[in-house]
Structure 1
């Protein structure tokens, strides 16, 4: 399931022009029905239904953007004023993972099926991907209104977490593959491993979202610029990403880079070539340092000036050849090194502050343990009938014949990570490189396979 969902996000075929995951009329109904959920309701049937609808909207938005089609998902989110609901749901899930999932993952809880918990954990990746896809456009950023401040804070937290984990010695490349060779593992431990990979993916998305916000600063409230520059000092944060990108690592003498959702070995002659993520960081730096408004508002001191000047060592001819505008940034930095910048213009302003996260924290203060206990007993310990209903929604959300056409490269074996050519013939979900891997994985896959297969049979009989 994770293989299909992630590859769809990154490898939509250019030959699928005119295809639809959902039709515009269906998409509009989904967008109109989007609503905010309380943290205690995360994972229940109504919440899960909205998750499935958001997943379809996300897949359709990616398909439209990749094929240069009419991006009607973006237009509908703006016209129905639903951008803030996406941000609210993103922050609610982030808090759920921090406050509730942290409790569930530390108790002796082995769910009969990890399906509901996995779908809940992946919800953050679904929404962040939808936001990344739609925030490329200025009108989407403008449509976010005041909640864009909450989104800026969210991106800051996610990027800071990425860098912190890297400083602690966590190797994301190892993390991507570390659970594949285990002979056996508990269901909950497997979910913990999956959550770490999801967090890495979300952190990558946060970098792109932040870049798109910097693209459109001139159309956003001044509070956004102030928050980016002087509250969070995003320029210095971006310097850390340039110096130590989490999406690039050396393994056994080989350079590996995370490109379009996969770790790829980079040949020696291509090591200086910028990846998409490198480009996102450099463009965000350029937007923040070269904007006249930002230059006037950024409060320089000895520390952040010294940090930003470190960029000079990374602005080689090869880098500037790939992003020519960085030549202007290079000249600005050379001037900054010898000339003291003028003091920032600070007038008397009524500064806006983010509200969504604080509101959610206030509403649920002292309730996290009770929420975790309730969800363990009910939401994440579903009956057989509830699992069947979830499997039915899953089968309806993912049309495997169509998704097979959308995937440009063969997926990897769920057990060993090798390229897979075989697929579970019953549910058409998991992929394997050979029969031995399929047999080894059957004990974990059996329950989900049976449920999905049963729903597919029912659907075929009805049609």
Structure 2
């Protein structure tokens, strides 16, 4: 069953426009969010059912990939700059779903990008905006690696928290999921590095030390958590109980290993990456993780293990491989920050009127059709049986249905 028809797909894609940060959460913006979410759901169906990926082809054809990159970056800036001001204005709002939709918009944009960039022509279509996207995904993955905001409850339902705390909890969960998704995008960009500019190559080898970031993630494994004396693993966009004999290798971990393999087999990257003593030490620590189970699941990593062994026997280079380049700056983030500089409080005051006002319920209900099938896609939230909005209260009798309010 399709989410939208082919004619709707063409119309939605043709009319994709950049969101204005000061209009996030408005009625006009919700219409754009609704369309992008439906496109994302339909693209998920096409990919999982091995069908012709019509949405991917049309988005590339219409040249809309840069706009989707803009959407992800715009929401990130809103979360960092405007959301704290909103919570200062309304420290205990009556509901959280309006803010949740804005935060979730980044998940939608990044999820759609991951499906498109799985293909080489998708990476090619990034053009000059590859630098903007790479900076964004490194920002998200670094947050995931640092782990400051990974300490959220994912299995326990807390009913006595304030709405403001729920909003922060939602924000942290979404940041985690976006970071996981960005690992897949990073892998696709490394895999197709020949189609990207030398500025992106420099970012990967010099400005942002991608192999060291990967090493840290593979050692810390933020996708594995303990809660209530049980061990859980984040796989296929949901948290699953992890048994002692569980040999599951989640997709994000596989992407990290394959990214490292692709990095050191790419002449564009490897030849410009200086192996210092610090880098060598961290790379050597990965050798014990390349066990038989992992190699059985991903045989190509045998070559990576051999490369690491040869690296352990080689001397550390004393010649710097740092190229002399004219640095190109990413445009999208700097343009948004310059446009709205020193206006964050003013934007928050205006947005608080419609995000927390009576109109917010009408807007949210209009999106109930968009999220009707959401449990089959990216998120694993409990959905109200009546209005299809995110719910935190479960029926005391049947223990199965969830509701957003009495």
- Is the structural similarity TM-score above 0.5? yes
Given candidates 308, 329, 334, the residue that maps to 2:304 is 329
- Residue 418 of structure 1: aligned partner: none
Given candidates 22, 26, 32, the residue that maps to 1:50 is 32
Q: Does the 8 A contact of 2:85 with 2:348 survive in 1?
A: yes
Q: What is the CA–CA distance in structure 1 between the aligned matches of 2:400 and 2:213, rounded to whole Å?
A: 46
Q: Does the 8 A contact of 1:228 with 1:234 survive in 2?
A: yes
Given candidates 147, 151, 158, the residue that maps to 1:181 is 158
* 1:216 equivalenced with 2:195 (yes/no): no
Given candidates 57, 73, 76, the residue that maps to 2:58 is 76
Q: What is the CA–CA distance in structure 1 between the aligned matches of 2:136 and 2:228, rounded to whole Å?
A: 34
Moved more, 338-347 or 151-160: 338-347
Q: How far 1:381 sits from its partner (Å)?
A: 3.0
- Residue 358 of structure 2: aligned partner: 383
Aligned residue pair count: 402
Matches within 5 A, 1:142-291: 142-165=124-147, 170-172=150-152, 175-178=153-156, 180-182=157-159, 184-251=160-227, 254-270=230-246, 272-291=247-266
Closer, same or farther: CA 382–283 of 1 in aligned 2, 3 Å:
same
TM-score normalised according to structure 2 size = 0.91
Superimposed CA distance per residue, residues 414-453 of structure 1 (whole angstroms, 9 cap, x where no aligned partner): 7xxxxxxxx73x44665976435879976x525xxxxxxx
Task: Report the secondary structure of 1:256's partner residue.
Answer: strand
Give me the CA root mean square deviation: 2.6
Structure 1: 5+ residue stretches without partners: 1-18, 415-422, 447-463
Task: Report the secondary structure of 1:177's partner residue.
Answer: coil
Superimposed CA distance per residue, residues 25-51 of structure 1 (whole angstroms, 9 cap, x where no aligned partner): 111111111111221111112211100
Task: Report the secondary structure of 2:225's partner residue.
Answer: strand
* 1:311 equivalenced with 2:272 (yes/no): no
Q: Does the 8 A contact of 1:297 with 1:344 survive in 2?
A: no
Closer, same or farther: CA 114–275 of 1 in aligned 2, 3 Å:
closer
Closer, same or farther: CA 250–189 of 1 in aligned 2, 3 Å:
closer
Q: How far 1:188 sits from its partner (Å)?
A: 2.5
- Residue 6 of structure 1: aligned partner: none
TM-score normalised according to structure 1 size = 0.80
Q: Does the 8 A contact of 2:191 with 2:259 survive in 1?
A: yes
Structure 2: 5+ residue stretches without partners: none
Superimposed CA distance per residue, residues 123-142 of structure 1 (whole angstroms, 9 cap, x where no aligned partner): 11111111112211111111
Q: What is the CA–CA distance in structure 2 between the aligned matches of 1:327 and 1:138, rounded to whole Å?
A: 25
* 1:354 equivalenced with 2:302 (yes/no): no
Task: Report the secondary structure of 2:169's partner residue.
Answer: helix
Name whichever structure is richer in helix by fraction.
1
Q: Does the 8 A contact of 2:131 with 2:330 survive in 1?
A: yes
Q: What is the CA–CA distance in structure 2 between the aligned matches of 1:162 and 1:264, rounded to whole Å?
A: 19
